[in-house]
Structure 1
């Protein structure tokens, strides 16, 4: 229990940890004031036994009780506020810390770890820490400290009753330790099922159009229902397994309270205890374990807190790419790769590729699906780090730049555009948050999207749905290009940017791309003849290697993948119904 609390406090960070420590000190003071009830009772009972109840006695007793109740209440309020601030502050800070950490993880991490797991940690896990951890830590600490103070006070009254009390505590904590060990595996399973449920819900919602189109509703519903049932089972199983332990804990505390009463009576009858002490011990037996009983029941949740902390730590401890390079400006935008290799798990994806991309030239990368084109571009822009060889920008290894310094040189237009749930203006100025509205409009005009944006209800202040769901594919692509124009980086990476665009938007999109790529170094993954034939060099990538390179005319003169690729596209274009 103590180890789990320590791990949680270490996780909190210095500022929030201080709040928790301050709350524990206040909780200790609260326990002292709670324990003042026993001296107050002692004063009144003593006066009653001696038949000497006076106004002064009543006022003394009332004064002690008022000090106990008022000070205890005020301190508890402050301690609760500190613990609440510490809990919510910790989770807010850790969410931001995780988000910042995710920025610099290699892209391969997101292939190996589902979106549902990451979202579950930043939502469910953090929410559990916000709601559960704060209350559990407060109740457990309060119970432990109050019981410790009252135990010391009881020992001061009579060491024999104190000894029995300590024996009861040893038995209680032995059962509590067994309960927490039992809950360890259950807590891990519970949190895993929570993450699996989030993954299934996200998968179901994101794929709802495919589910309906291919009549997979029943199958997908069964998968979702299965995740819901497993989550329900994990939570129910944990509760059912812990209830017997909680019952035994509660029975031990009540049994020891009863034994304290019996022992006090026996000692008094045998003439080994004064009547005043006997009465105080009997009264104390009813209040000694009150808060410890609650602490014992809630302590089972400490394992869940521990699992939540470990899940968040797993993400935060995932090795980042080396981001401590220099904040340097490249001497040029020449890009080269020398004998680079990259493997995902056991599968070799890029195998010994070397290339040169001179500044302000256009390089098209083509090849069969799954040949390694996107992976190669990701390595050139350092979305991933190479396993072998090196990639250079301006004659300098890209790993020598800080990530932020390196990314200033690249703008990306992806096949699948993601727009944020924000205004169109803010989506365009994403790379330059402080850019004036005039610059935003100028970028939009160059990207051929000013006209349709102006026609929207709120113009540039129109809030678009998450992912750009309220816009067409061509509109999203043009906003993405406006964003890239706004960033004005010297290197432009186009990953199938025109693959899914309808013919009505294609002309405007090509005009937007032309405005974006003027006087830039261009790297493009493309399948359309019109987008590759004018490239300064074309690289044909297959099975992780460059199997052909040259201009369009040079490659068309060779018998190989490229000529077959172009001829196949020409036949497809000429085919009519």
Structure 2
């Protein structure tokens, strides 16, 4: 149990950890003030019993003393409870928020290959379900267990002031209770991992179902996909019920031991009174303490079984945070020029080689077109040049310095990207454009939109630049999304532009505006483009033809056409496709 508590506290950052430590210290005072009720009752009971027995008169001084202790207990317990709860709540939710941000920052610097191996559902589950459990449930579990133990220990200490024999009985009951609690947590360990994994699978499957709903409907697979989703949900239900069923028998035994401890305190107290070794007043106080001890044991024990889920949740978050990032601790370098060179670079996914011994030089302010069959490594090469991945062998340089020498942020300042599949955030159009420069003014946003040929259609939207678009830009056409993406790149104003088939899925009506936007974006820039359309390739300063990860041809359009190789066949096939009519 304590190893889980320590792991949870270490998981929190320093500020929030201190809030939890502070709440535990305040909790000690809270337990003390709660235990003062025993003293208040003892004063009152002793006064009443001595008056009944004729030993001493019952005066108002006794009443005022008992009332004073009770009021001090009430005020102290209320104040400390409020402070303790506020610190726990702030620590929990701020830990959740800071860890989500920390995970997001960490993901920025992971190799792109990580996202190929791990589904969106897993990452989403960790940043939503897992963080929610840690920020809400885990905080309550940890602090309830801690407070329950503190209350129990202080009540036993207070009992010891009245009778050490009863304190021993209470201690034995507490030890047995904790032993059963340990058995329950060990029993839950086997199913808690399954429960957390099942929660993750539900998120993954729901995301997959929603994201692929168009394909599911188009291929009439609604029933099958619904069945798979329902099966995942049913397994999740079974996992949650199974975890509860594992707890119930031992939880009931735990409750029985807590009650039995209270009964034992009563029986021994009455026995000691009857044999004359305990005063009646103390006996009455012990009878009341037996109920208070039961409540304290229940507070700590009822939540302890969930500590294993806390342990797993921390492990899942740490699993992402402990993934090795790319070496990002380089220098903040401003390159003297923006020449890009790849020197005999290799790269492989697992054991499958994608880029094989590629050497390439891209002078500053020139346009390089990369063409080749599907799967030839075009996108991967662009990712290596911009250090989305690190090469397995060879080197990539920008301005004569290895890209690994740059800090990641200073390197990314030099690159802007326009991808075939544009992702826009669920936010206003203005904020989506300002993603390339968050500090930009509205006037700068409008200027960038005009250059990207998207100002006119934005103005026609219901709220203009303040129109909130759907996640992924679903409420806009493909061409409109592309032009907003270009406006975003114009706003960033990086010296190197990478266009990954930016015009591949654009309809003829939007193509003219899109080409004008690209011309504006790429003016006086170093341009690397992946393209299938002849008009976007033929005027490039150099054309690089990839096949099976190797450069098989390189040169200008006219030279490559004369060579009659892969590029010439590519051009012929495109001409045939353009000339084909229905």
Q: If the TM-score is normalised by the length of the shorter chain, which range does it land in?
A: over 0.9
Aligned partner of 2:35 in structure 1 is 35
1:120 equivalenced with 2:125 (yes/no): yes
CA distance in 1, matches of 2:451, 2:33: 72
| Aligned partner of residue 552 in structure 2, secondary structure | strand
CA distance in 1, matches of 2:392, 2:177: 55
Tell me if structure 2 keeps the 8 A contact 1:80–1:138: no
CA distance in 2, matches of 1:31, 1:243: 28
CA distance in 1, matches of 2:439, 2:73: 56
Offset at residue 346 of structure 1 (A): 2.4
1:543 equivalenced with 2:543 (yes/no): no
Q: 2:537 aligns with which of 532, 536, 547?
A: 532
CA distance in 2, matches of 1:21, 1:443: 51
CA distance in 1, matches of 2:243, 2:389: 41
Tell me if structure 2 keeps the 8 A contact 1:477–1:497: yes
Aligned partner of 2:240 in structure 1 is 235
Offset at residue 536 of structure 1 (A): 1.7
Tell me if structure 1 keeps the 8 A contact 2:368–2:543: yes
- Between 1:464-473 and 1:545-554, the stretch displaced more is 545-554
Offset at residue 272 of structure 1 (A): 3.1
Tell me if structure 2 keeps the 8 A contact 1:44–1:53: no
| 1:445-486 residue CA offsets vs partner (Å, 9 max, x unmatched) | 221112111212222222222211111000111111111112
Aligned partner of 2:23 in structure 1 is 23
Tell me if structure 2 keeps the 8 A contact 1:242–1:300: yes
Map 1:240-319 to 2 at 5 A: 240-319=245-324
Q: 1:553 aligns with which of 558, 562, 567?
A: 558
Map 1:40-439 to 2 at 5 A: 40-51=40-51, 52-439=57-444
CA distance in 1, matches of 2:40, 2:442: 71
Offset at residue 65 of structure 1 (A): 1.6
CA distance in 2, matches of 1:319, 1:48: 70
Aligned partner of 1:9 in structure 2 is 9
CA distance in 2, matches of 1:157, 1:309: 43
Tell me if structure 2 keeps the 8 A contact 1:492–1:521: yes
CA distance in 1, matches of 2:64, 2:581: 104
CA distance in 1, matches of 2:236, 2:157: 44
Aligned partner of 2:472 in structure 1 is 467
Tell me if structure 2 keeps the 8 A contact 1:432–1:486: yes
| Aligned partner of residue 557 in structure 1, secondary structure | helix
Tell me if structure 1 keeps the 8 A contact 2:174–2:297: no
| Aligned partner of residue 433 in structure 2, secondary structure | helix
CA distance in 2, matches of 1:299, 1:394: 58
CA distance in 2, matches of 1:509, 1:536: 21
CA distance in 1, matches of 2:414, 2:130: 37
| 1:393-440 residue CA offsets vs partner (Å, 9 max, x unmatched) | 011100101111111111110000111122222222222122222222
| 1:358-388 residue CA offsets vs partner (Å, 9 max, x unmatched) | 1111111111111211111100001111111
Offset at residue 229 of structure 1 (A): 1.1
Give the TM-score taking structure 1 as reference length.
0.97
| Aligned partner of residue 90 in structure 1, secondary structure | helix
Offset at residue 559 of structure 1 (A): 4.1
Tell me if structure 1 keeps the 8 A contact 2:396–2:403: yes
CA distance in 1, matches of 2:381, 2:103: 28
Count of residue pairs the alignment pairs up: 577
CA distance in 2, matches of 1:396, 1:89: 40
CA distance in 2, matches of 1:269, 1:463: 79
Offset at residue 278 of structure 1 (A): 2.5
- Between 1:181-190 and 1:507-516, the stretch displaced more is 181-190
1:496 equivalenced with 2:501 (yes/no): yes
Root-mean-square deviation over aligned CA pairs: 1.5
| Aligned partner of residue 289 in structure 1, secondary structure | helix
- Between 1:259-268 and 1:87-96, the stretch displaced more is 259-268
Offset at residue 236 of structure 1 (A): 1.0
CA distance in 1, matches of 2:349, 2:166: 66
Tell me if structure 2 keeps the 8 A contact 1:412–1:494: yes
- Between 1:561-570 and 1:305-314, the stretch displaced more is 561-570
| Aligned partner of residue 288 in structure 1, secondary structure | helix
Runs (5+) with no aligned partner, structure 1: none
CA distance in 2, matches of 1:113, 1:26: 42
Runs (5+) with no aligned partner, structure 2: 52-56
CA distance in 1, matches of 2:11, 2:116: 27
